[in-house]
Each structure stands twice: as C-alpha cells, then as structure tokens.
Amino acid sequence: MPRPGFVHEVDRSTPPVLFWRGENFSLEKLPAGRSRVIYPPEPLKALDDIDGAIVHALLNPHGQDPLPAQLFPGMKLTIAFDDVSLPLPKMRTPDIRQRVMEAVLDMAAQAGVDDVHIIAALGLHRRMHEYELRHALGDRIFDAFHPRGMLYQHDAEDHENLAVIGTTDHGETLEINKRAADSDLIVYVNINSVPMDGGWKSITTGLASYKCLSHHHTGETLQNTKSLMGHRKHSALHTSIWRLGMVLRDQGPKVFQIESTLNTDMFPAPFDFINKREWEWTAKDRATYLGTTTALNRMPTRMARKMFHNIEAPHQMTSVQAGDTELVHEITLEHVYRQQLVPVEGQTDILTLGIPYVCPYNPDGIMNPILVMCMGLGYLFNMYRNKPLVREGGVIIMTHPTYREFHPVHHPSYIDFFEQVLPDTTDPVVMGQKWEKQYAEDEWYRHLYRTGNAYHGVHPFYAWYWGAHGQQHAGKVIIVGGDAPTVRRLGFTPASTMDDAFEIATDVVGRAPTITHLHVPALLVADVS
Amino acid sequence: MSDKSRVSAVTMRRAGKVVDAIGAPLQAVMKPTRNLGFPYRAPTVPRGVEVPKEPAKLGADFDTRWARKAPARAARTVIARGPLQLMVKIIADPEVLGTDRLSDLIELGDDAPPVIFAPNHHSHVDTPIMVTSVPEPWRSKLVVAAAADYFFDTKVKGTAAALALNALPIDREVTGRKSSDLIRDLVEDGWSLVIYPEGGRSPDGWGQEFKGGAAYLSNRTGAPVIPVFIDGSGAIFGKGMKRPKPGSTRVVFGAPLHPIEGESTRRFNARIEAAVAALGDEALTDYWTARKNAAAKTSPKLTGPSYSGWRRQWALSEQRKLGAAGMRRRQKRRWPDLG
C-alpha cells in the first residue's frame, strides 16, 4: 500500500534535503523549527491489465455509445494525441499513447474504416522528431501511417488547413485543424500528468491556431489565473478554454475523449533515490548520490543533459476513461488528485523549489533561462489547490545554474526574446502589448516552426506568461547558484548559497520567516487550507 | 662406463622398484577376483554367437533431463551467447520486432509466467533464430520442441541438439501423452517452450496448416501462446537446400493468446494460425493494412494460394520480394518480368 504524501516539520535531526539544480543535485540544510518539507505520495499501483482496461474503457464510455458503435465504413476518423511535452520524463516503451491508439485502430479496422488520420496535437510547440514519434506511437503505427501521409503534426500556421468552428459570447474564435473539423469523429488520446491538462484544453489548444490561442494565452489572463492546478473557476485560462469547448461541443465535430493518468514512479534505478525521503536512503542510495553528483560536477553539461534526457521513466497507467469530454475529465481529475494531492495547513513566508533539468518545453533540449522562470513560477509555484503555498508578498527561492544557453534548433525565438525583450521589460502585460505581435508574425520563426523543429515565434512569451501569476504574487524571487547577470536579466536576485538566499530574503519577510520546501519529484499538488 | 650411462642405469633401477612397490599389492588384490570369474567378471561369448546391441534410447525416448541441469545450462548459455549468436547474426541477421507487445510480462522479470512460442517454420535456422531472439526472462529457460525422428535419430545429433538448443524430442504427428505430460511438468517448473505448429519445415516455401500441438499444450498447461512470424529464413536454408545462403530475416512477436473457457483445441488452433498469418501480413506490408485484413478475415494465408504448379511458385517469389529476405538480397526472378 503506497504511503500518502505528508508534511514534515524540520527539526535538528532532519537530514539535509535534496534539491534539483538543473542537471545536478544538492543537499540543503533547512532551518529547524520553522521549516517544513512537503513530500509527495508514493506512486500508486499501476493497473494490472493495461490493455484490458483500455479496451474496457472504449467499450464502456461515459455519456456516449461504445466506440465500435460510432465507427462505420466510409467515415472520416481523426485520432489526435498529446505531443512530446508529456509525460516527463518520457516513459518506457510501449508508451500509453501507442497502447490506446492500437486498441482504437483495431476497432476501426473491425468497422472497416479506411480514412484514418493521426495528428500530433502540438499547438505552438515544436514538431516532434521522427524518433520521438516512434517512441510515442511505436514503430508499427509510424511505419504504417507516416509514409502514406496519414500521420502528421498539426500546423497552426497552415491557414488553408484551419477551419473556424464558431465564436464564444466573449468574442473568442475557435479555429482548429481543418481535417479534425471535417471529421465524423475525433478520438483524442490524452495523458494527464497534472490537473491543468486534459478536458477541452486538449483540442482547443492542441489543434488550434495562433489566432485562437491568443484569446487566452495573454499576460492578463495568466495573471488572473489564480489556480492553474486547482478549481477551474479560479482559472481565467480554463474558463476561457471551457467557453471554447462549449463552442466545439455545440458546433464542431463529435469528440471521443480518452484520458489516462499515470503514477509518479518517475525515475528508474539507480536514480530512484530521487523519489525517496532522505532519512530512508540506504547506504547504496547515499553512495549513488555521492557518485552521481561527483560525476556530474566533472562532466560537461552537455553530456549530463544527454544522460538525463535519455532516462526512461517506469511510470505506468493508473486509470483510463473514455467518452464525453467533460464527464471523462472529472473522473480523470479524481485520479490525478488521488495520486498527487497532499493536505497542507497554511501558507509560508518562503517557498523553496529545486528546478530540474526538464520542463514541458525542453524535452531533449536545453532548460534555458526563460524556461527556468516558467518551470519555477509557472509550474512548481502553481502546484497547489485553494491558495498558493507562499503568502502574497513572500519570497520564492529556486535552485538552478541558469546558464545563458539556448537550443538553437528548438528555441530560436527564445534567444531574441532574451536579448531584445527582457532588457526592455519583464512585465508580461507590457511585453505582450509591445513585442508579441512582432514575434508571432515573424516569417523566419514561422518558417522554422512549420518546417523545422522550432517552437513558434510567440512561444517564449507564452512561457513567460505562464509565470505571470507567480511573478505578481511573490515579493522577491531568488535563484541560488545561477549565473548572476542572467538571473538579473530575468528580474530576479542571484544568491551563491541557500544561506545567502535566506539572508537576502530577510529584507522582505523578516528575521525568522517560515519556510516550505516542495519536494520534487514526484509531482504533487498541495491542498492548502 | 661413462657418467651418462651410469645415471641412466640408476634411474631404470629406481623405476623398477617403484613398479614393484605398486604392482605387488595390486596383484594381491586382483588375484581373488581373477579366480572368481563369471558372474563377478563379464561373461565370455561363445564362438559363432552374435550378441545383439542394446537398443539405444533414441527418437521420442531420448533422455534429455541432463540438458536442463545446471552444468548443461551453463554450457548452453555460453554457446547461445557466443558462437550461436554470432552464427545467427552472420547467416540470418534477424530484425526482432513486436517485443513491446510482451512488455507487461517482461516487466514481471523472474515472475513472468512460462509461455509457448508458436512460430511458422521454414528452415533449420528458425530454431537458432528463436533461441537468440526470444527476450528475457524466457530465453534462459527455454526448451524447443524438435522432431524426434530427425533430431534424435542418433545419439550424437540428439546430444548436440539437447545441449546447444535445449531441444526436446516430440513426435511430429501426434502429441503423445508422454510428451505432453513432460511438457506440462516442464511448464509447471517454469520452462517456456518453442513449438512449431506446422509440424515440420515447409516443403515448398509456403507454410503448412497448423497442427493442434501448441493449442493443446496451452489448454493443458494454461500457458499463453505467443504467436511469432519468422520471415526470410526459407530463402536462407529452406528445405532441400544443401548449404545456407546468408541473408536477413525478420522476427515479429505477437500479443499473448490465452485459451478461452470452453474453446475447443481446434478453434484455439485456428486463432493461433490466424494470429501468425496477421503477423506475416504485418511483416510484409504494414501494421494498419494487416489489422484491416485481419478484421476483414482477408489476411494472406500462410499456406499460400490454393492453386498449384508454377503459379504457386511465382506467387512465392513475388511475396519474397516484399519480405525481409528480398529487401537486403533480392531474390532472382525465376521467369522474366513481362510487364
């Protein structure tokens, strides 16, 4: 029976706590008596018969007829799936998407459906490399569909292949992939890693155009998104997306949503010590930690990055449900919270976060400074329900080397964003008004997005907006161990050590602040009362 | 007398003393038995009488228990991972696909249940291919059902097959009670089995109808059947070929098949054959085409077209062009291409 998550009050006997530092780790001693560490629940047991559970979900959907009853010869079937941004780290093969899709294709073959298109719903993310498609879908599906042009990636800039479905009463236009819009049925294959994902967000962002996304991916909307991982009504982003979802439901093609959840078994041996509570480390774990950090300190960053991105996580499916998007998503959220929710009493003055080597926007790439901000303030800060872990005006301390390094193929517009936009302003609203259009309509970025493996030109803005609420909420953000000029460019304060960071924070939170550390991995959502 | 000859004489004298010292007590011990004679000693054979040789336990009676004991297993591991693997790589260069379909069982590691692998059979190379392609945890505890009348007709062949491949003698035509009891016991002990449901190598390059051995054994033991399609081995060392012609092969593993409650062996056998045929289709076309054909029950039969004569051979050469063997080393057309 996996143990639930818990809040550990740090005392003098508590060992130093593990922090990510990009492609490395450190152990930090937190002050006794006023610090606490939130440990995630242990990974839930995976489903015993995953393929059986998938077939059962397809034959017993929520609020819809079984999938085989919705398939008929001569129909247009479009299968869309979540892109490489999920799950993190990539999972061991076979990926869940492959398993689900093979079950769907089996039923389509039984029904005599010939016209099947498979589309990677990547929104404005980068196109997946062939090896990534093969990893997610398996060689069988790739070899059968890709050479015939029946497996491809969504292009949010291909205006001839986009179709307007309708407009919300707030004037938001829903424009999605034309093939999907013209289909008799869209089957969406989702992986829900965090509560923010899934539901109507899958199609209305994954298959949408820039025009459609620009309604809600703004500085103002994200500043007003007070709970990205919690109740939808507190998220301006999700409220807008759900309005678009209603348009899709009423005026668009029929959608058969398949959502799945994963347990948080994120690192295989020998890195399994990362998932453990420090006082439970065995002699082997301690030796592995020492060996790993010593090796990583001497290793070129490039090699360390390669090593970490090659990790395949042993996480596995804990639930799968299919049918009507809203009904399915509610069940999915229950499963996500069952795995990730940790009750926490009260807010804190200082929130400490270890920033890892990866976030949803740099699989097999570089965690550049903008993504450090996005991961810290956009994702980890937002891992709460009800209210943030840190009080308004409190301090957020992150640990990451924050090197000034960018992946030239994946993140070309991030480089210019860092050199041109950030020196001018770090305010999401101001940069949106002043700079966003120029980046979004840049022909070169558009070309790289459409034909290469680059994120869309506007994507660094979206990554920055993601942290807008955290940026607005925190009184100060400190990065420990980061490149000082780079950290200052982000609008944050650099510190050499954790003790220095606590000292710097006293200006804002006084001499004896309370401290909370969010222990990642694994993923957790703090239910703050 | 020279110094050299004196040393030699001394050596000889000492050696003689040693022989006397050992020989005298030995003779003393042997003397009583020499006097005792038969039945304490072997009988003498009268002149003009020929003693018939004791019948060797060959064929289905060949005893292979020793081959599953620790020393033989250790030797086999060395053979399989060394010379056998190298030989298979050089001769057949197999591309192994579809093991992800077994991932749920593989994840169980040593707790994975024993299974029955049921591949099509075109060549003597098939068994070495299977022995080196089956994934762990089954590879190290695998027995191969081999034709008793072919592999176990002499002691040398039988010993070699049992040692190198862990072969088990099985009657081709009928799975006798003795064989099936043995296999049941082996499965209960955690051994997995490779059995060729066709009963023997293909005589003309096309497959043969499946006999019910795999289905029967699965029903009897409860072990799931893993359908396997081996493509290209017939062109490498098919029946009738004098020596192997190196080429490439493709091994496709399918999803495990379990006997359904109340399902007859005949129906289960048909399911296994259909699964192997669908894998064959997948190996030669692609996954989606194969699934559609399987759903429409139009997967190309393993046994080939129903017509006979040259058209059957012609169709085979067309099929081989699509397969793994054709991709790397094109088969020569037997007739000119008339357009």
Taking an 8 Å cut-off on Cβ atoms, the answer to whether A93 and B295 are in contact is: no
Please write the tens of the pLDDT for every residue from B144-168. Answer: 988 888 888 888 888 988 888 888 8
The pLDDT of residue B328: 46
Q: Coil, strand or helix: which one is A258? A: strand
User: Helix, strand, or coil here: A6?
Assistant: strand
pLDDT at B334 over 80: no
Cβ–Cβ gap B288/A98 under 8 Å: no
Judged by a CB distance cut-off of 8 A, whether residue A118 touches chain B is: no
Q: Could you give the CA distance from residue A288 to residue A308 in angstroms, rounded to a whole number?
A: 15
Q: Which residue of chain B has the CA closest to A112?
A: B292
**Smallest Cα distance from A115 to chain B, Å:** 11
pLDDT in tens, B77-116: 888 888 988 999 999 899 999 999 999 898 888 888 999 9
Of B97, B103, B291, the CB nearest to A139: B97
**C-alpha distances out from residue B7 to A80, B18, B270, Å:** 97, 17, 86
Question: Which residue in A49, A92, A110 is closest to B295 by CB distance?
Answer: A110
Residue A91 touches chain B, beta carbons under 8 Å:
no
Residues of chain A positioned with their CB less than 8 A from the CB of B295: 106, 109-112
Long-range contacts of B60-66 (CB under 8 A, 24+ apart): B60/B148, B60/B152, B60/B169, B60/B170, B60/B171, B60/B176, B60/B178, B60/B179, B61/B169, B62/B148, B62/B152, B62/B158, B62/B162, B62/B169, B64/B158, B64/B162, B64/B166, B64/B167, B64/B168, B64/B169, B66/B162
**Can you tell me the distance from the alpha carbon of A182 to that of A165, in angstroms, rounded to the nearest whole number?**
10
Sign of CA dihedral A221, A222, A223, A228: positive
pLDDT tens, residue by residue, B265-291: 899 999 999 999 999 999 888 999 999
Please give the span between the terminal C-alpha atoms of chain B, in angstroms, as a whole number.
99
Ranked by mean pLDDT, the top range of A431-435, B260-264, B326-330 is A431-435
Contact A109 B100 (CB under 8 A): no
From chain B, the residues in CB contact with A111 under 8 A are 295
Provide the angle, in degrees to the nearest 10, between the axes of the packed helices B287-295 and A96-110. Answer: 40
Q: Which of A98, A138, A145 sits opposite B288 (nearest CB)?
A: A145
Cβ separation of A109 and B98 shorter than 8 Å?
no
Interface test with A, best of B100, B107, B257, B282 (most A CBs within 10 A): B100
* Contacts B97 to A, Cβ<8 Å: 139-140
pLDDT score at A305: 96
Q: Assign residue A198 a region: left if phi > 0, alpha if psi is -120 to 50, beta otherwise?
A: left
Q: Confirm if B210 and B269 have CB atoms less than 8 A apart.
A: yes
- Chain B residues touching residue A98 (CB < 8 angstroms): 100
**Structure-block tokens of residue B220:** 């009897």
> What pLDDT band is residue B329 in, cutting at 50, 70 and 90?
very low
Q: Mind telling me how many Å the CA of B292 is from chain A's nearest CA?
A: 5
From CA A455, how far away is CA A449, in angstroms rounded? 6
Q: What distance in Å separates the CA atoms of residue A151 and residue A166, rounded to the nearest whole number?
A: 27
Examine the pLDDT at B333 and tell me if it is beyond 60: no
Subunit contact B295:A145, Cβ cutoff 8 A:
no
User: Cα(A188)–Cα(A255) distance, rounded to whole angstroms?
Assistant: 7
Q: Is 0.95 topped by the overall pTM? A: no
Q: How many residues does chain A have?
A: 529
The token pair at B172 is 């081709």
* Nearby residues of B59 by Cβ (< 8 Å), 6 or more positions away: B148, B149, B152, B153, B169
pLDDT lower than 70: segments of chain A: none
Of residues A447, A423, A416, A421, the one with CA closest to residue A435: A421
Which of A94, A106, A143 is opposite residue B291, by nearest beta carbon? A106
pLDDT at position B3 over 80: no
Rounded CA separation B143/B162 (Å): 9
C-alpha span between B215 and B116 (Å, rounded): 9
Q: How far apart are CA B15 and CA B21, in angstroms?
A: 10
- DSSP H/E element including A151: strand A151-153
CB pairs under 8 A between A and B: 45
> Tell me, what's the pLDDT at B25?
74
DSSP string over B274-326 = HHHHHHHHHHHS-HHHHHHHHHTT-PPPTT--S--THHHHHHHHHHHHHSHHH
Check residue B337 and give its pLDDT: 62
Instruction: Flag whether residue A72 sits within 8 Å of chain B, measured between CB atoms.
Output: no
Q: Does A106 touch chain B (CB under 8 A)?
A: yes
Name B301's Cβ contacts closer than 8 Å, sequence gap at least 6: B207, B277
Structure confidence at residue B19 as a pLDDT band (50, 70, 90)? confident
Question: What pLDDT is attached to residue B294?
Answer: 92
List, in sequence order, the alpha helices (H) in A111-150: 130-145
Tokens of A259: 């959502």
Beta strands A390-399; A476-480: pairing state = parallel
pLDDT tens, residue by residue, B119-130: 999 888 899 999
Higher pLDDT, A42 or B242: A42
Of A92, A109, A139, the CB nearest to B295: A109
**pLDDT of amino acid B59:** 74
- What pLDDT shows up at residue B31? 65
Higher-scoring residue by pLDDT: A515, B263? A515
CA A162 to chain CA centroid, Å, is: 25
pLDDT in tens, A317-351: 999 999 999 999 999 999 999 999 999 999 999 99
Element (H, E) at B194: strand B192-194
Contacts of A110 in chain B (CB under 8 A): 295
Report CB contact under 8 Å: A109, B288: yes
**Which residues of chain A have a CB within 8 Å of the CB of B292?**
109, 112, 114
> Taking CB atoms and an 8 Å cutoff, what residues of chain B touch A94?
100-101, 103
Q: Is the peptide bond before A270 cis (omega within 30 degrees of 0)?
A: yes
